[in-house]
Structure 1
Amino acid sequence: MRTLAVGAAAGLAAALALSPAPASADHEGTPTVRELLERCGESTDLCEFHPSGAPEYFQNTSEPVGSPVYNCTDHEQLSMVEWSKTTGESNSVNLSMTATFGVVFKQSFTLSYGHEWSSSHTQSQRTQVTAQPGEVARVYYGPRMQRVHGTYELHFPDREWGHYIWYAPFTAEGPADDQGSTITQSTRQMTDEERSVYCG
């Protein structure tokens, strides 16, 4: 019985030694994450995305929208600024999410969190601004965003870069479904150049 036990242990060790070891695309001398994701669904037997934790929500940096309002009069001026701003998605490898890896990501996101990934959001509005004499008024908009971290698992039918299985870290950002967006306005004094151009 002792001989059989030793033989079984040796056989298990040999099997483990021959099994394909996975590798990660975050070390020197390995393919880039971009190279791996470009092959997702094209030359893989398996391509899956595994999210890590819950989405992170954050307020994006506010940017000016619409046209500035120049008050060239000698009294307070109320104006309506009409604007529209579309916020899209981005990711850590700067690849279009319309590719196969993006479809895989969005399917995994829906299964993991129970709602769909939002690729873009358009906010349109007419915002009232107030400018005192000699001032410039502007509207600023900052959308609420979500960020998801995770890892792609890719299985290849043949060895690629020396391995059958690769893991690739990935991060994506996009507009949140619940748009608690920030809309603000600010004013400042016109410069001499602006006064010359817009006030004559």
Structure 2
Amino acid sequence: MNVNEEVHKAFEVISQGGIILYPTDTVWGIGCDATNEDAIKKIYQLKKRVETKSMIVLMNGDRMLYNIFKEIPETAFQIWDLSDKPTTIILDKPRNVAPNLIANDNTLGVRLVKEPFCYKLLERLKKPLVSTSANISGTETPKCFKEISPEIRAGVDYVVNLHQDKTNSKPSTIIKLSLDNQVKIIRK
């Protein structure tokens, strides 16, 4: 399978409100259009996750970032530029995404991706992509495709046929960065 074919198939499913199982620059993720409230509900149900526990989104550049966040502290760009591994930053006051994706404190976690499949899918979608680990809430995050439970595999509308033999790295670092530049490390 080639990347462009998989991007096309994933795009078709997501455009129709579906959810996908896909490789990211960290662990395998379950994803959908970050503006589609019903698709996001499907992910919460599949993961058996309470809706108050928010999920992150993937983006592929500044244009998408500024569509979702009016203000982004310069520190966020410095962290992304200096990070040697994938880093999720939780930012204040997101907009233009589904309300059930935004945390109770009016924040949203975002990670900029370089991984070719995710990057190209985001280019095609022109919207952020929800990304949450491919496991039932409370169970261990799978390190590779074969560790993903049959329940998760069967619960998505499409499984991306790329990198299924690769053992993935750890989940991303998570840093919370407020508009007044307060920094809190959530996960190293």
Q: Shorter-chain-normalised TM-score: which range?
A: under 0.3
Give the TM-score normalised by structure 1: 0.26
Greater fraction helix = 2
